[in-house]
Structure 1
């Protein structure tokens, strides 16, 4: 297939130097006299930005090597999904993926059963570290800091050297390809080294954030039967040090499969813990002579060999243990980091995240195109609501990322980064984790800089990348996600399974894509995998987001269409709260929802039904909060707790989370729920009254 058309008219003049680029603006921003409206033009890329964009280089390669030219991004996207074999083969060749090349790009048309890059043998860590071979001795791979530790750096050779030594020692203590290695550590270089070393030898990585309670961690790691665990003694947050030794004992002793525990005294606590497996100090594993890159052998594995296991919580049962493959992640992250995030050598990516969120993996993926990853351990507001901008300044970030929820807090606190920090290196802001409002875009252009590419992107743990993405070669419109990600057939469907435009519907993926999960760990017959995404539309991936596409190819998100909770930009499952609440004897039942409110805010109330004669007093509220914070995480603590006479259920025994959420967001009762499908129709009346009372005092959608 040859499409003879052109995406952008690129300048033929000589490319300016990096210094000259830094001194130029990267586009034309619009002066705002008031809050922007949805779809309002805010920024247009100039010729310099288009010229140096990674997607421009890719287009020129397609024209030169494949004789393909495209009029606009939409044409490029349509080709990438219509001819997915050709597109992903082009990605493989353009980025020079090494290892055994695939004999077949994709086998099968069913998303769940399709297999990608058959015959290929690659290693993800080898690709993240391949820039070491061409980097200068001073070129930085990691930039890191914490609330108490100043900014420091690690060069590519230092990172590669530590990974090779640790990987070799892991092999020596018996870690084999396919063994699971887990981590309970903060967002620090040691965690990055541990992940890369694990993956380098073909073992399977999984991580939990240290603020997670032991019960929550065991629900995840208990599914995996890990052989080795990395543990840090604690972490710091908002000026406090949190001792996790008690949690570590509970977790380690609850994982009977563990043979070795690797201990990191990160906050300097004594290791006086009674742990079943043998304990090895992290620092001891890094001792020994340098291992030259030429002497180290990465374990190149088949495309169906699991790379890591990420956890995405549903509304019922244990968290979903999502396994991705090496080849699929290599291809997807090369595409996403270069073409949709515009990263490459000399650039630095900072996105506030913890190690329990897929955005940590995405930040680490910036290494795959030669960019540096910026790691921060601590509160996003330590020392003030402008803390993240201070870090962006001190680390020389060129790309800054955060959830819109964090930006809303900055706005409320009257943060003005442009007046306080030197952000001249910064040219890109990525918003992710929740829908971004026009006001969020407007605040950035008014208070950071006008000559920025602001891109709101959305995907999820399920693919560890984006479905809706961006490009610096196109204008930015307020509240709008610029484009559909290349190579992924993203559509919006109505309830009849028909593709729609300019109307709100379900976000779906209609064809196989290489970063889809290989499987859910322990999910015999892919039953839970199927039930999670393919029951609404047969064979079609329903992502669980409400969205709308407009005529220019942009998209708007309207929050979750299911009951998954979006808490401070991180999706968590209601089942996690229910399992904790079951341990509180006064509570007989519960229901929790999270509502997307105007101006990008979120409201998460918890409703509890109590035993006969019990009342929700301040003591019980306090105990609920403490239990959720301790056994789950601070993210699981609701905004409010209310006592309800009864929890509404469907005839099939499911809590009616989505209808209650709709009621609170202002949907009329007759549209929010069908009482004919309810086991206890009268129970909904209290929630209708609650929503009506709330609308009198709160803005709703």
Structure 2
């Protein structure tokens, strides 16, 4: 396989360099580390090497620099023999409360300044720190009066609005565990998750607003509640007050149903203070779920201090988020990035929540609404804007230049950073951002996962941005690249599996249910491949030894291996986006090897044609193969290229490669409800059955 550096499209090309790195918080942190430990660290890469070689010292410094608010200090940071499973205990002896750290950050913002901005396609809500604390106080006291206790589970079938943040903070102030599912999720997928954790209280929106339309949720909520036998109370947020929502029809079989207004209003002591239960560092705060694309999703339980430490490190040091900054991420409440966004409160930032379509409102002068988010950045003076790689590639395909828009251009003067995750960001999209969106921002292509509720590789405000690369491996995250045999090939520049070799606070505290079953799920998920001292994550990556950057090539379970040559599907996707943006709307690249039939793996490329595409399939296939051979190599050229009607995706918009791969390989594995458009998988089953 030729080195990827040899390809014109992936050459090492600097796109941005920070003008004043010495003014960043990470530079200040490095200076303090040097002073405290008598070191002479000169740059980020030296700091990273120190952080993974001295994890106890590093995480202790992070605790103090990011100002964790604790009721009781720790006795010992980390008993570290580098064994990651079972999970080592960090900051033993400390006690704290997650919600308190978000509601009362150490930066002590003025109580009348804005903490949360809630935006929809038409409305705006500005909530001060004082008002946010008061709303959490009322909700927390209502929850306690309803019988909620530490360790109970609270679920939300809710959108990305301020009441969701209030409910989460209220629940976690008591020590309950929060789990959120977006209202656009199908009933089966919701129940696959919630039935496993048995929530005591469910918050639900009575409707959602998307693309200019109100979508009532009564039918979904009724079906969900009917199958949750342990539910005590359903609390309904009246998102659309004019909507007819019959409460009696959604009443839990052995419980009660109430609107959120009445839930708060019926508390006996309306003046009871907001109290924060003091808890161990590993006390659970969130339950998230594995993708569930090939079976029931696994509930992953995250601890309060690990989540808080990791998010504050990422926000303050890697993103240079400061008190008063306005941080936005386009996300649903299901996605890990919602939790990452909300933690911005702990750094004293204003978080911007958006519930609706990213393409609304449509341009008054016509168009498809591509200007909606750029105009939101200007209107709300957003400093850090986060989204998916898919969204940015759609803007690229539309050739949008917001600052030179024909009818109503924007300035984007407030913007200091753009973050992208969810899938690899194509090299061409890197160049598009700097040429057409903003020439002087940090473009943070980042990667982590629901598994750690944080990042393995991230942005860095004191490093350049190179085309097609994530800037760095995150501080305290001993990210390496292993081959099949467990050899570290990071320095070689060759692609392999992303692993982590030193314990870190954001490891999950458990898999649900607690006990041997959950423990075995935990072990098999991350430590089945290389043993108890190496976290095997599942991304297929390589490290550029010249820049220290990381190139994402896809998921290792979707790695393509024709004739033994390994490469990632993202390499194919990048070429298609660069050369066929007008002809191809989306694509899916799969390796097929059927037991007893195929002696080698065949690369199969499915393309969904763009509307109005004039190309014939034979002509397009010839062009695709020629470009891939030229840009990558002859080994990369798909053996089969065919047109498909739809690309299967998760509710977060990620392509479902593995489920289709199993279908093509003839494996009879149940497809989970996390495939948002699962009906389209029938087309792939039919396709596979017709192949010789």
Q: Do they fold alike, i.e. is TM over 0.5? A: yes
The answer as to whether partners of 1:141 and 1:371 remain within 8 angstroms in 2 is: yes
* Residue in 2 that maps onto 1:598: 574
Contact between 2:286 and 2:301, CA under 8 Å: does it hold in 1? Answer: yes
**CA deviation vs aligned residue, 1:196-244 (integer Å, no higher than 9, x gap):** 1111110000000000011110000111111000000111111221111
Partner of 1:360: 338
Aligned residue number for residue 442 of structure 2: 453
The residue matched to 1:105 in structure 2 has which SS?
Answer: strand
Would the aligned equivalents of 1:367 and 1:373 in 2 still touch at CA under 8 Å? yes
Which of these residues, 547, 554, 559, is aligned with residue 559 of structure 1?
554
Give the 3 Å change call, closer, same or farther, for CA 362–270 of structure 1 in structure 2.
Answer: same
Which SS does the other structure have where 1:308 is aligned? strand
* Secondary structure of 1:467 counterpart: strand
CA–CA separation in structure 1 for the residues paired with 2:653 and 2:543 = 31
Counterpart among 497, 504, 520 of residue 506 in structure 1 = 497
* Cα contact 1:648–1:656 (8 A) shared by 2: no
1:514 counterpart SS class: coil
> What is the RMSD of the two structures over their aligned residues, measured on CA atoms?
3.4
Q: What are the Cα deviations for residues 346-371 of structure 1, in whole angstroms up to 9, with x where unaligned?
A: 21111110111000001101111111
Partner of 1:463: 452
SS of the residue corresponding to residue 207 of structure 1 reads strand
Taking the TM superposition and a 5 Å limit, the aligned residue runs for 1:617-628 are none
Relative distance call for 1:164 and 1:66 in structure 2 (3 A) is: farther
Contact 1:649–1:656 (8 Å) recurs in 2: no
Q: Partners of 1:235 and 1:37 in 2: how far apart? A: 42
1:538-577 matched pairs, under 5 angstroms: 538-539=531-532, 540-551=534-545, 552-563=547-558
Secondary structure in structure 1 of the residue aligned to 2:17: strand
1:122 corresponds to 2:111 = no
**1:131·1:156 contact (CA, 8 Å) conserved in 2?**
no
Q: SS where residue 279 of structure 1 aligns?
A: strand
Which runs of structure 2 are paired with 1:186-201 in the superposition (5 Å)? 186-201=159-174
69 and 351 in structure 1: CA distance in 2 versus 1, 3 angstrom threshold: same
How far 1:635 sits from its partner (Å)? 5.0
Q: CA deviation at 1:323?
A: 0.4
Q: Secondary structure at the match of 2:105?
A: helix
1:75 & 1:484 partners in 2: Cα distance?
Answer: 12
Does the 8 A contact of 2:295 with 2:671 survive in 1? no
Per-residue CA distance 1:492-533 (angstroms, 9 max, x = gap): 111121111311110001121110111111164211111111
What residue number does 1:372 align with?
350
Structure-1 separation of matches of 2:435 and 2:284: 44
Deviates more, 1:334-343 or 1:309-318: 309-318
Q: Tell me the SS of whatever aligns to 1:68.
A: coil
Deviation at 1:649, TM superposition (A): 4.1
1:89 and 2:60 correspond = yes
2:427, 2:574 within 8 Å by CA — same for their partners in 1? no
Moved more, 114-123 or 177-186: 114-123
Q: 1:148, 1:172 → 2: CA distance? A: 35
1:242 corresponds in structure 2 to 215
Aligned position for 2:234: 261
Displacement of 1:687 in angstroms is 6.2
| Contact 1:508–1:541 under 8 Å retained in 2 | yes
Q: What is the deviation of 1:550?
A: 1.4
Q: Distance in 2 between matches of 1:595 and 1:254?
A: 43
SS of aligned partner of 2:90: strand
For 1:26-37, list aligned pairs within 5 A. Answer: 37=10
Residue 235 of structure 2 aligns to a residue whose secondary structure is strand
Secondary structure (helix, strand or coil) at the match of 1:182 reads strand
Whether the 8 Å CA contact 1:389–1:417 is kept in 2: the answer is: yes
Deviations 1:414-470 (A, max 9, x none): 221122212111111111111112211111111122111111111011111110012
Q: 2:324 aligns with which of 337, 346, 349?
A: 346
Of the structure 1 ranges 63-72 and 509-518, higher mean CA displacement relative to structure 2 is found in 63-72
User: In structure 2, do the counterparts of structure 1 residues 198 and 541 end up closer, same or farther at CA, with 3 Å as the change threshold?
Assistant: same
Aligned to 1:79: 50
Q: 1:643, CA displacement in angstroms?
A: 14
CA distance in 1, matches of 2:292, 2:572: 18
User: Which residue of 2 is the match for residue 442 of structure 1?
Assistant: 431
SS of structure 2 residue aligned to 1:222: helix
- Asked if the contact 1:132/1:157 (under 8 Å) is kept, the reply is no
Q: Distance in 1 between matches of 2:476 and 2:660?
A: 45
1:138 deviation in Å?
Answer: 3.4
Contact 1:648–1:655 (CA<8 Å) still a contact in 2? no
- 1:427 corresponding residue in structure 2: 416
Indicate yes or no: 2:361 matched with 1:385: no
Q: CA deviation at 1:119?
A: 1.4
- Does 1:104 pair with 2:93? no
Contact 2:295 2:669 (8 Å CA) reproduced: no
Q: Find the residue that maps to 1:528 and give its secondary structure.
A: helix
Residue 329 (1) aligns with residue 307 (2): yes
Q: Distance in 1 between matches of 2:655 and 2:34?
A: 53
Cα 1:507–1:292 shift into 2, 3 Å: farther
Cα distance in 2 between the residues matched to 1:656 and 1:317: 6
- What TM-score does the superposition give when structure 2 sets the normalisation length? 0.77
Specify whether residues 323 and 260 from structure 1 end up closer, same or farther in structure 2 by C-alpha distance, changes over 3 A only. Answer: same
- Name the counterpart of 1:8: none
Q: For the Cα contact (< 8 Å) 2:326–2:349, is it kept in 1? A: yes
Separation in structure 1 between the aligned mates of residue 32 and residue 450 of structure 2, nearest angstrom: 31
Indicate yes or no: 2:492 matched with 1:520. Answer: no
**For the residues of structure 2 that align with 1:327 and 1:221, how far apart are their CA atoms?**
24
Whether contact under 8 Å (2:553, 2:571) holds in the other structure is no
Q: 2:470 aligns with which of 473, 478, 481?
A: 481
1:162 shift after superposition: 0.7
Give the 3 Å change call, closer, same or farther, for CA 417–119 of structure 1 in structure 2.
same
> Is it true that 1:232 corresponds to 2:208 in the alignment?
no
- Give the C-alpha shift of residue 247 in structure 1: 0.5
Distance in 2 (alpha carbons) for counterparts of 1:403 and 1:643: 24
Are 2:107 and 2:348, in contact at CA under 8 Å, matched by a contact in 1? no
Q: CA deviation at 1:690?
A: 7.2
For 1:54 and 1:236, the matched residues in 2 are separated by 39
Report the Cα distance in structure 1 between the residues aligned to 2:524 and 2:342, rounded to whole angstroms.
30
Give 2:618's aligned residue: none
Cα–Cα, structure 1 residues 315 and 535, in superposed 2: closer, same or farther, change >3 Å? farther
CA contact (8 A) 1:404 1:435 kept: yes
Q: Does 1:210 align with 2:183?
A: yes
1:173 maps to 146
Deviation at 1:303, TM superposition (A): 2.0
Aligned partners of 1:290 and 1:373: how far apart in 2? 31
Asked if 2 retains the 8 angstrom alpha-carbon contact of 1:349 and 1:397, the reply is yes
Whether contact under 8 Å (1:435, 1:600) holds in the other structure is: no
- Aligned counterpart for 1:415 among listed residues 400, 408, 430: 400
Q: Secondary structure at the match of 1:45?
A: coil
User: In structure 1, the residue corresponding to 2:28 is in which secondary structure?
Assistant: helix
Could you tell me how far 1:596 is from its partner in structure 2? Answer: 6.0
